[in-house]
């Protein structure tokens, strides 16, 4: 009856958990504005990016490599394992809402010296004990609930971290694939140039032999051919390095990369403007921002965990069992025992240390808030920088195309 009343009381004051209640931080007002660098023809500010952004390149081979990376990349496997660990920690925290039980027992055969017993008393006897114990913490001040909030925030932050690793791995995979294709094309152009210069060397040699050209002309064209030939090897090394990087990202050894990819020469091309959306949508989908916000929530909850130590911790416990002098009497009525009652513990003499822990938890929350603000600003800065670089590259490409057309 007493246990039921205590449970009812703890439920009734569940909203009285000590410590601050978490409120999600506000994002900068500028986050809702269009991007500064989003006003050129290569992007579409009105459209939101698709989660599978690499499919904008419409390259089935690339799609296959990204799928392999998402399935086999070692960094992703580590992040998923860390997520499982955080979720297990949440399970442990939730288990504290339930009674904690334990079973124990022993059987001893004891032989004592004669001087320790009365004359005629047995010197050898058995003692048998078996029992079930249960303890339940009445969460009057929300220590357990705040601890669950903190563990939940940690698990959600770990999930966001795993998403961030996936984003980074996909980006690195696309970059390695693009670098391999670009380097392969440069190798092809360089080899074609060397082939043309070989023909020029032969023609010039024939003209020198016929007396229609100076030997200096042959020396010059041969030196140019050799110079272009020497430039091929570094380009081949760049291509190989990109391919090896692609193999590692997809969970392969370098020699396991398909031969068809090693012969790939076509660079990636975008057939449509890049959808970019606005800053607020960017913040909502960036996993690093979500991770920072969830860590702030967890650190805020830990202030409540520390604050709860200012108040008494109340537990209800009980045990039932049997204690006897032998196995034959273990289940007899005289062997039965039970115990029930509350346990109150309070670190009141250590209140200064408790307040110091509260201050430390508050400082952690302040640092987490600053980290969140910094992550948001960094996300906006990185996007603006990427858009600016892309816009200037588009301008450079258009200028080169115009120069080519004029030359023709």
Rounded CA gap, 67 and 81, in Å? 19
Is 298 found in the same domain as 245? yes
Is 126 found in the same domain as 168? no
State in Å, rounded, how far the first CA of the chain is from the last one.
97
Helix then strand count (H, E) for the chain reads 10, 6
Is 106 found in the same domain as 202? no
Rounded CA gap, 328 and 126, in Å? 11
pLDDT score, position 200 = 95
The first and second tokens of residue 18, run together, are 């000590």
Is 109 found in the same domain as 122? yes
pLDDT score, position 8 = 45
**Do the domain assignments include residue 191?**
yes
pLDDT score, position 197 = 96
Closest among 61, 64, 55 to 265, alpha carbons compared: 61
End-of-domain residue from the set 345, 360, 381: 345
**Do the domain assignments include residue 143?**
no
The first and second tokens of residue 17, run together, are 């958990």
Closest among 295, 234, 235, 285 to 265, alpha carbons compared: 235
Is 328 found in the same domain as 197? no
CATH number of the structural domain spanning residue 255: 1.20.1600.10
3-state helix, strand, coil split of the chain in percent (to 5) is 65, 15, 20
Closest among 136, 139, 138, 133 to 318, alpha carbons compared: 133
The three-point CA angle 281-287-293 to 5° equals 90
**Do the domain assignments include residue 29?**
yes
Rounded CA gap, 72 and 93, in Å? 31
* CB 107 within 8 Å of CB 128: yes
Is 281 found in the same domain as 230? yes
* CB 359 within 8 Å of CB 248: no
Sequence-separated (6 or more) residues with CB below 8 Å from residue 256: 247
Is 264 found in the same domain as 127? no
pLDDT score, position 278 = 67
Prediction pTM value:
0.82
Q: What's the number of domains the chain is made of?
A: 2
Is 361 found in the same domain as 324? no
The first and second tokens of residue 301, run together, are 């909850």
End-of-domain residue from the set 328, 345, 362: 345
pLDDT score, position 265 = 55
**Do the domain assignments include residue 134?**
yes
pLDDT score, position 32 = 64
Is 161 found in the same domain as 110? no
Rounded CA gap, 122 and 119, in Å? 9
Is 278 found in the same domain as 166? yes
**Do the domain assignments include residue 144?**
no
Is 251 found in the same domain as 108? no
Rounded CA gap, 160 and 296, in Å? 13
For 120, the domain range is: 101-138+320-345
3-state secondary structure of 326: coil
**Do the domain assignments include residue 76?**
yes
pLDDT score, position 46 = 57
Sequence-separated (6 or more) residues with CB below 8 Å from residue 62: 54, 174, 177, 268
pLDDT score, position 1 = 43
pLDDT score, position 3 = 41
The conformation of residue 116, written as its DSSP 8-state character, comes to G
End-of-domain residue from the set 345, 361, 393: 345
Q: How high is the mean pLDDT in each 10-residue block of the chain (408 residues)?
A: 44 67 84 60 63 87 94 97 98 94 83 72 76 91 95 98 96 94 91 95 92 90 95 94 94 80 69 71 86 97 95 91 74 80 82 93 97 91 83 82 81
Is 255 found in the same domain as 108? no
């Amino acid at each position: 009856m007493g246990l039921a009343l205590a449970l009812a009381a703890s439920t009734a004051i569940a909203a009285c958990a000590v410590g601050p209640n978490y409120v999600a931080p506000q994002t900068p007002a500028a986050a809702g504005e269009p991007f500064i660098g989003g006003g050129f023809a290569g992007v579409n500010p009105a459209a939101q990016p698709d989660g599978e952004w690499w499919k904008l390149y419409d390259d089935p081979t690339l799609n296959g490599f990204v799928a392999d990376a998402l399935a086999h990349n070692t960094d992703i496997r580590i992040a998923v394992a860390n997520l499982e660990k955080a979720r297990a920690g949440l399970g442990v925290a939730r288990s504290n809402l339930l009674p904690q039980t334990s079973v124990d027992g022993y059987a001893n055969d004891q032989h004592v010296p004669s001087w320790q017993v009365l004359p005629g008393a047995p010197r050898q006897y058995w003692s048998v004990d078996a029992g079930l114990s249960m303890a339940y913490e009445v969460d009057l001040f929300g220590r357990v609930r705040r601890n669950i909030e903190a563990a939940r925030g940690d698990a959600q932050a770990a999930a966001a971290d795993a998403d961030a690793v996936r984003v980074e791995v996909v980006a690195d995979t696309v970059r390695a694939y693009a670098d391999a294709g670009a380097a392969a094309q440069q190798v092809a152009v360089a080899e074609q140039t060397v082939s043309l210069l070989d023909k020029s060397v032969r023609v010039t040699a024939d003209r020198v032999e016929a007396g229609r050209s100076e030997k200096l002309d042959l020396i010059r064209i041969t030196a140019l051919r050799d110079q272009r030939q020497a430039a091929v090897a570094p380009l081949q090394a760049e291509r190989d390095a990109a391919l090896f990087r692609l193999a590692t990202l997809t969970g392969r050894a370098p020699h396991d990369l398909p031969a068809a990819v090693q012969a790939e020469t076509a660079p990636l091309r975008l057939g449509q403007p890049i959808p970019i959306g606005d800053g607020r949508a960017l913040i909502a989908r960036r996993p690093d921002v979500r991770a920072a916000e969830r860590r702030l929530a967890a650190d805020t909850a830990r202030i409540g965990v520390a604050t709860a130590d200012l108040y008494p911790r109340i537990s209800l416990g009980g045990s039932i069992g049997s204690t006897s002098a032998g196995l034959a009497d273990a289940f007899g009525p005289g062997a039965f025992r039970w115990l029930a009652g509350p346990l109150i513990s309070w670190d009141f003499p250590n209140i200064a240390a408790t307040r110091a822990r509260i201050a430390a938890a508050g400082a952690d929350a302040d640092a987490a808030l600053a980290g969140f603000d910094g992550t948001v600003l960094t996300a906006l800065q990185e996007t603006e920088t990427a858009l600016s670089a892309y816009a200037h590259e588009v301008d450079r490409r258009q200028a080169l195309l115009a120069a080519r057309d004029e030359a023709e």
